[in-house]
Structures are given as C-alpha cells and as structure tokens.
Amino acid sequence: MTNPINGIGAGLGPANGSAANKTTGSSAAGGFDAALNEAFTKVNAIQQEADKAVHDLTQGGDVTNAVMAMQKADMSFQLMLEVRNRLLNAYDEVMRMQV
C-alpha cells in the first residue's frame, strides 16, 4: 500500500525557494488546472450543443433531440456546480486548519 502523504509530496521537489521547486510546483498544479479547464471546456461544448438543438427546434427540428440536449446540458452544469462547491468547501476547511 502506498503512503498517500509521500504520493502527494513526491512531485513537488525540494522544499526550498529554488527555481526548480517553482517550476515543478507549477507543473504539478498545472495538471489539476488542466483537468479543470478540460472539464469546463466539455461542459461549455455540451451547453453549445444544447443551444444548437434549441435553434434547430425553432427551425422545425426534432423535439426529442432538443429535450435530450437540454437535459444533458443541465445535468453537466449541475455536476460542475457540485464540484465547484466541494472544492470551495475543501479550501475553506484547509484555511481553518491551525498550523
């Protein structure tokens, strides 16, 4: 079994303020940042698909496609909001910790 604390700190490099530490820390944070940006991009694409489906509906398109696209967009947006809420709660929890 892997020790989770060592797993988190393994990619951060030395604890001093050197340039190597700053570049390693930013790349580690970039992984999380990239994952969030990808998730936001996907949600945005789903929202745009829903907008297109509604536009197609106004031009005589299929009702079921529009409803399904809207439901998919709604669910993905709600999931994104829940992830955001959980991240904010985790941040608040970390900020309340006493050192």
The per-residue pLDDT for 28 is 53
pLDDT of 9 reads: 43
Q: Do residues 23 and 11 lie in contact, with contact meaning Cβ atoms separated by under 8 Å?
A: no
Q: How far apart are CA 21 and CA 27, in angstroms?
A: 10
CA pair distance 31, 93, nearest whole angstrom: 22
The dihedral built from the CA positions of residue 64, 76, 31 and 9, taken in this order, carries a sign that is negative
CA 88 → CA 47, 55, 64, 92, 96, distances in Å?
23, 35, 36, 6, 12
Q: Determine contact, residues 39/83, Cβ cutoff 8 Å.
A: yes
What pLDDT is attached to residue 32? 84
Total domains, the chain:
1
Domain interval for residue 79:
4-96
Instruction: For the full predicted model, state whether its pTM sits above 0.85.
Output: no
- Could you read off the pLDDT of 11-26 as tens digits, one per residue? 444 444 444 444 444 4
End-to-end CA distance of the chain: 28
Residue 74 has pLDDT above 70, yes or no: yes
